[in-house]
Amino acid sequence: MLRTPEQAPRLNRRMGKRVPVRLQRAMALGPGLAPEKESLVASTPETSQKNMAKEEPAQDTGRREWERPRRNATVKTQSCNLDDDEAELWSFSPTFGTPPPSAMPGAGKRARDRRRLGVTSAQTCAVKQFHEISSVLELLPRFACCDSRPSDEAFAEEVLRQIAELKAFLAVDKSGQDRFIFHVKAKESRVGLHDTIKRALTQVGGWLEMEDDCGTAWNLLWTYRRNKKFLDDVPSLNIFQKVNHFSMSTVLTGKDLLKDTLTPYKRIFNILPATFNLPRDWKSFQREWHRVEEGCREPNLWIAKPSRGACGRGIRVFRHLKDIQPYAKNVVVQKYIHPPLLLHGKYKFDLRIYVLVTSLKPLEAFIYTDGLVRTCSQPYNIDMHDLSNKFQHLTNTSVQKERQSGTAVTKLSLKALWKIMRKDGVDCKSMWEGVIGIVLKSLLCVSLHPSIQHEPNAFEIFGYDIMFDADYTPWLVEVNSSPALSCDGEVDDTVKLGMLYDAIRIIKPVQFSRKALLEFLESLVVGGGTRCRRTTTAELQAKLAEIVHPDELSKDRELGGFQQIVPSPAFDHVLDEYSNRDKQAHKTRH
């Protein structure tokens, strides 16, 4: 009897059998799909580019359809310099590439979670930069990952589409200066976001704003929220186009999904306070509350917040189990960090850290060395009758703005915090290393998530909220996909504008001549536009040398205030920690 992937785990449990890891992975990815073996870390500029070999079609051995490996996958990706043992360890393998089976939720639940996240395909996009192109097909995103040679009609259709897009670009920028074109979506509702982005791009220079009615003739699309209309088209974007969101980064930025993403690795990386999603985890939360209540002399404080809330709305601190409804919907309950590290020994604070991720698979990330320190406006205390005082417990800037009186400063730069800490004899270098460790461990867990795919046309600036306890241990509170970028003071101008200026220089596409590329593509069209001729590699390389500005390929990446953390020795240390503990867990199981 043919059973669906959701029915198979239930059948195995009734029969007392353990679900095979291979079957778990196949069911987690959906019918007919299996993960490709990809490098976990992006290569450094000195590392040569390597393409992975095509997978051989698997022989049909009578397995069910959902068990069969994917048949049509060719993965083109960057890889770092790894020896054979390291490459095998860090790749997607049943032992080390996915969470250990003992830590994985049920396979049926994984499949349901995958559908809830909207993942229907494991297709990857492998668009190359200009200096890496050796075939005309690699200029055309639609065919960048194709295993087979497209038909003459399909090839001609895509070339004509590219020609139409280039003409649209030239219609927007009639100066002939090949300026980059940007478009900010939702600027009517987020005026501060639009103004800050525009100011940063003006400082960088060479950017032109696109009007709303100019279609897709943009090099940079900046949206406040994930726009499904645009993000669904990411695999078909040109090599000179970027969007500021990954399609599945919600596994990191959703308060409820972050907990699900990090839970399989909590025995390896303990970076998130005890967190529960209600009503699903009500019984687990009850057990943990009673355990803490019986074994701790400190107040048993918890914080509840809406899973999709923002700006401090709906957040409250509570003490007793009766203060939270067992069937509250879409609520995340988290252990309150007590006692927290206090600024000047009085005010609770947290850090807003900006992390630029240019690729989630393979992983490449940068952390901005300055950031924001958000403080409460009233001295911290845990009076049981005053837990509702949000000016003592919530560091959100939007919350502290509501309090008009008082002289306490509620926002300062990270560099200013380090100066204060050094005067008190605090080891700021160790604190910063702890912050980087939190970011690296969370990004590693996300990169191992089965829904994350290679998206070369996307990047994202994440806003990490990190808090220290009184023992100087850092804890991850949450991650924001669209951190507030509006500037309402000198601190914001210094930190946010500086961060955006440096981020845009890192993700900026290669400068090229649109007119020269248009003329080259038009020269391929023959037969009245019904077909296109192919080119030799030598002819293509000669043409690309004319199309791309020669200075662009020799430029080193300017990091400015950013520090590259992946790849880096610090990330190597995190990988070692992950692999060593996973090996021990694997030996224990066997």
pLDDT at 86: 30
Instruction: Give 139's DSSP letter.
Output: G
Separation of alpha carbons 64 and 226, rounded Å: 36
Q: Name the pTM for this structure.
A: 0.76
pLDDT at 32: 39
Annotate 155-192 with three-state secondary structure. HHHHHHHHHHHHHHHHHHCCCCCCCEEEEECCCCCCHH
Query: Count of residues for the chain?
Result: 590
Contact criterion met (CB below 8 Å) for 525 and 532? yes
Give the number of other CB atoms < 10 A from CB of residue 383.
8
pLDDT at 377: 84
Contact criterion met (CB below 8 Å) for 41 and 89? no
Separation of alpha carbons 251 and 271, rounded Å: 16
The single residue listed with the structure tokens 């959701």 is 6
Separation of alpha carbons 448 and 470, rounded Å: 32
Q: Which of 453, 497, 76 is nearest to 248 (CA)?
A: 453
Looking at beta carbons, which pairs linking 61-70 to residues 24 or more positions away fall under 8 Å? 64/2, 64/3, 65/31, 65/32, 66/4, 66/5, 66/26, 66/27, 66/30, 66/31, 66/32, 67/22, 67/23, 67/26, 68/26, 68/32, 68/34, 69/34, 70/32, 70/33, 70/34, 70/36, 70/122
pLDDT by residue, tens only, the chain of 590 residues: 434 444 444 434 433 444 444 444 444 444 333 344 445 666 554 444 444 344 444 444 443 333 333 333 332 333 333 333 333 323 322 222 333 333 434 344 434 433 333 333 333 344 566 667 777 777 776 666 555 677 778 888 888 888 888 888 888 887 777 888 888 876 555 678 888 999 999 999 889 888 766 667 788 888 887 666 555 555 567 778 888 999 888 999 998 899 999 999 988 999 999 999 999 999 999 999 999 888 777 788 999 988 877 666 778 888 888 888 776 778 999 999 999 999 988 889 999 999 999 999 889 999 999 999 998 888 888 876 677 777 788 877 767 776 655 545 688 999 999 999 999 999 999 999 999 999 999 999 999 998 888 888 889 999 999 999 999 999 999 999 889 888 888 898 999 999 999 999 998 877 788 888 888 888 888 877 677 887 777 888 888 888 887 666 656 678 999 999 999 999 999 999 888 876 666 556 55
pLDDT at 226: 67
**Coil, helix or strand at residue 589:** helix
pLDDT at 415: 95
pLDDT at 434: 96
* Domains delineated in the chain: 7-54+62-123 (no CATH), 128-172+516-547 (no CATH), 180-273+337-512+556-590 (3.30.470.20)
Kindly compute the dihedral angle of the four CA atoms of residues 402, 403, 405, 411, in this order, to the nearest 10 degrees: -90
Q: How far is CA 416 from CA 243, 468, 494, in A?
A: 33, 17, 12
pLDDT at 503: 95
Q: How far is CA 177 from CA 163, 174, 364, 552, in A?
A: 18, 8, 31, 15
